Amino acid sequence: MRVILAAGGTAGHINPALAIADKIKYVFPDSEILFVGAPDGMEATLVKKAGYNFRAFKMAGLQRKITVNNLIRNAKAAYYYITARSNAKKLLKEFRPDVVIGTGGYVSAPVLLSAAKLGIKTVTHESNSLPGMTTKLLSKNVDRVFVVDKAAVSHLPVKENAVITGNPLRNNIPIEERSEARKKLGLPDGLTILSFGGSLGANKITEAVVELLRWENEVGGINHIHGYGGNGRDMFDGLMESEGVKPTDRMILKEYIDNMYTCMCAADIIISRAGAMTLTEIKAIGRASVLIPFPQAAENHQYYNALSMADSGAAVLIEDKDLEKTRLKELIKELSENPARLRDMEKNAAALGTVNAADVIVSQIIDLINGK
């Protein structure tokens, strides 16, 4: 099988593409796979590191706010798009793929639209519950649109070619028994909270987590793992000191969490932003969550990711603007006193997960190529 994958911009676009590529390579070891992305995007690094061939197309996004600088940037974006369409056409005729797969990012549109015009089989995958502009545009032209959930289908302008597959993970999550995961982390049994996503100027999350830790100091018996991120250390340390919060042996407080799956398996409640792949992991492990969407995410898509989870009874959604200092503490207190609700949230989260998403996607692609 000869495959071109177009992906870029964020890990939420690139990681699903890598997961699909890995599955194709596993099923068809002799497959020829080529990635297309931006030369200065993270895809250039991640794809090459994964061992796949990579072709760079210069791309840029359109700016919606009208300013002189943005008009200039949009003119450049239009030029890059026209150039990318021309380059894509040449590449497609040269490589002769059986299928072209897009998983998001600006580069997906010119490559998939060119492929569709040449009569090549095309599919796109959307990892968010609110499809982005690229997915909405492509849904009118590609053969199939793979989406994460029912909510995503409802936002598509063309729904007939949509298939709910979930988000593919590149590696199967090693599911650890909760007590064993805690033991591995050096934590005793007891209510365990995992929080992260408080970097990048997320002052409200940091303030709320410190207030939560202060309450945990008072009540005792609660484990808490928190990743404050590279940009959040000074603020976190300063608030811990000013609020008189004392680290205990039940707390793991660190800049980066490098054993995330073990920490997720150890947790009863996960507090995080609502990125697509984070939620995919929460569903796969089956954990209750408190989701605080990143308000500056494109088209506010994290809000819709979190809303889909909350509407299914798997999570509690708190918008960043509504996160008052004590609200998180009061919510965790309420959940800690209602273990039956936590177990229901876990079941609902697990029910949303699709453990074999990559298998489903590759099976769909095979059927498409075979004319089914």
Least confident of 42-46, 58-62, 137-141: 58-62
The answer to whether residue 159 scores a pLDDT higher than 90 is yes
Q: Please report how many Cα atoms fall inside a 13 Å half-sphere around the Cα of residue 318, on the Cβ side.
A: 22
Asked whether 281 and 261 are in contact (CB, 8 A), the reply is yes
Q: Please report how many Cα atoms fall inside a 13 Å half-sphere around the Cα of residue 24, on the Cβ side.
A: 26
- What does the block give as tokens for 323? 């996160």
Q: Which tens digit of pLDDT belongs to each residue from 245-296?
A: 999 999 999 999 999 999 999 999 999 999 999 999 999 999 999 999 999 8
Partner residues linked to 269 by β-bridges = 193, 288
The answer to whether residue 200 scores a pLDDT higher than 60 is no
Q: Which tens digit of pLDDT belongs to each residue from 217-238?
A: 999 999 999 999 877 888 999 9
Say what the pTM is. 0.89
Asked whether 106 and 37 are in contact (CB, 8 A), the reply is no
Q: Which of 199, 184, 167 is nearest to 267 (CA)?
A: 184
Sheet holding 162-164, edge to edge: 53-56, 32-37, 2-6, 99-102, 121-126, 144-147, 162-164
- What does the block give as tokens for 58? 């210069």
Tell me, rounded to whole angstroms, the distance of Cα 331 from its chain centroid: 25
- What does the block give as tokens for 122? 């095309």
Q: Which amino acid is at 148?
A: V
Instruction: Please state, rounded to an integer, the average pLDDT across all residues of the chain.
Output: 92
Task: Indicate the pLDDT class of residue 107, thresholds 50, 70 and 90.
Answer: confident
Share of the chain above pLDDT 70, in %: 93
Q: How far apart are CA 113 and CA 135, in angstroms?
A: 11
What residues have CB less than 8 Å from 319, skipping those under 6 apart? 292, 293, 295, 303
Least confident of 68-77, 180-189, 240-249, 352-361: 68-77
Task: Indicate the pLDDT class of residue 68, thresholds 50, 70 and 90.
Answer: low
Task: Indicate the pLDDT class of residue 366, thresholds 50, 70 and 90.
Answer: very high
Task: Indicate the pLDDT class of residue 76, thresholds 50, 70 and 90.
Answer: low
The answer to whether residue 63 scores a pLDDT higher than 80 is no
The answer to whether residue 213 scores a pLDDT higher than 80 is yes
Q: How far apart are CA 193 and CA 73, in angstroms?
A: 44
Whole-number pLDDT of residue 275: 93
Q: Please report how many Cα atoms fall inside a 13 Å half-sphere around the Cα of residue 83, on the Cβ side.
A: 12
DSSP string across 236-263: HHHHHHHTTPPP-TTEEEES--S-HHHH
Q: State the residue for tokens 């002052």.
A: 203
Q: Which of 321, 326, 288, 281 is nearest to 303 (CA)?
A: 321
Whole-number pLDDT of residue 230: 79
Q: Which of 143, 149, 181, 191 is nearest to 336 (CA)?
A: 191
What residues have CB less than 8 Å from 178, skipping those under 6 apart? 192, 265, 266, 268
Could you tell me the domains of the chain?
Answer: 2-168+355-369 (3.40.50.2000), 178-352 (3.40.50.2000)
